[in-house]
Amino acid sequence: MSKSKKKKPARGPFFRRLLTFTVVLTLLVAGGNALLHLNYFRVQSIEISGNTHESAGELISVTGLDQNPPMISVNSQEVTKQARSLRWVESMRVARHWPHRLSLIVVERRPVAVAADPTGALFLVDVHGVQLDPPSVGVNLPRLEARGSSAPWAYRSWARPAARVAARLPLAFSRQVAVVQISRRGEIRLKMTTPVTFVLGGESNLREKFVAVASVIAHQTLRRGAIVDVSVPSAVTIQ
């Protein structure tokens, strides 16, 4: 007795339509990709705003946009990462304007203090402790001091809180602060131009501590060299 062979089910119209659609879509994607790599769709115009310290030429060169890449190949995150390798660039937004124009919106770092390198040369510093350019004549910013540091530039590591404190100094007395000093233990002191020293202690509760500093300045007559401890804002002591 011979065994009958099972017939394979016939592929119906739906399968044929699906196959046709897949083939057409693949051809369209391949053709569209090739089209977007034509010279017409390469970067031809770049508008840059927000840059003061970094030139347009430096930004275009470091990001590789001087190679006029295809618009479809521009990776915004990668372009921003490359731009941030420049000293003054904190962040950047990349906007595409088809068919061939880009906009780069740059946010530059804001100096909040100055600090000396191991040679004694002064440099501007931002809130993150990044070493920027030498200050121009007449810049009125507090100087950072990292006591007991053997590192060539401690403001990107353990001494970074000093930069953050400098960034948050209130207008009420910020111009009276000559030095923001930090010790290895994390104790922060404000040395004023008077000269009087305010001991802040750690970086916590800065708002309350600044209110205490402003109140002492406004209502107390302090001798030269006085040390005012506001590390506990509700229990200020003066030596």
Give the per-residue pLDDT at 37. Answer: 64
Q: For the chain, how many structural domains are there in total? A: 2
Distance between CA atoms of residues 50 and 56, nearest Å: 10
Residue 10 placed within a domain: no
Helices (H), the chain: 13-36, 56-62, 76-83, 160-168, 206-219
Which of 13-17, 73-77, 154-158, 222-226 is predicted least confidently? 13-17
pLDDT at residue 12 tops 50: yes
Q: What confidence tier does 54 reach under pLDDT thresholds 50, 70, 90?
A: very high
Last residue within a domain, chosen from 83, 108, 133: 108
**The domain containing residue 208 runs over which residues?**
113-238
What CATH number is associated with residue 91?
3.10.20.310
Tell me: pLDDT of 7 over 90: no
Average pLDDT of the chain to the nearest whole number: 89
- Of 60, 63, 87, 61, whose CA–CA distance to 75 is shortest? 63
Determine the distance from the C-alpha atom of residue 157 to the mean position of all C-alpha atoms in its chain, rounded to a whole number: 16
Residue 74 CB: number of other CB atoms within 10 A?
17
Whether residue 154 sits in one domain with residue 118: yes
Residue 130 included in any domain: yes
Instruction: Look at residue 4 and tell me whether its pLDDT is greater than 90.
Output: no
Where is the domain boundary, 56, 74, 108?
108
Find the farthest-apart pair of alpha carbons in the chain and give their distance in angstroms, rounded.
120
User: Residue 33 falls within a domain, yes or no?
Assistant: no
Calculate mean pLDDT across residues 209-219.
97
Answer whether residue 21 shows pLDDT above 80: no
Task: Indicate if 207 and 158 belong to the same structural domain.
Answer: yes
Question: Which tens digit of pLDDT belongs to each residue from 149-164?
Answer: 888 999 999 999 999 9
Same domain for 88 and 117, yes or no, is no
- To which residue do tokens 């010279």 refer? 39
Q: Same domain for 127 and 228?
A: yes
Q: Is the pLDDT of residue 24 over 50?
A: no
Q: Which of 54, 82, 108 finishes a domain?
A: 108
121, 230: one domain: yes
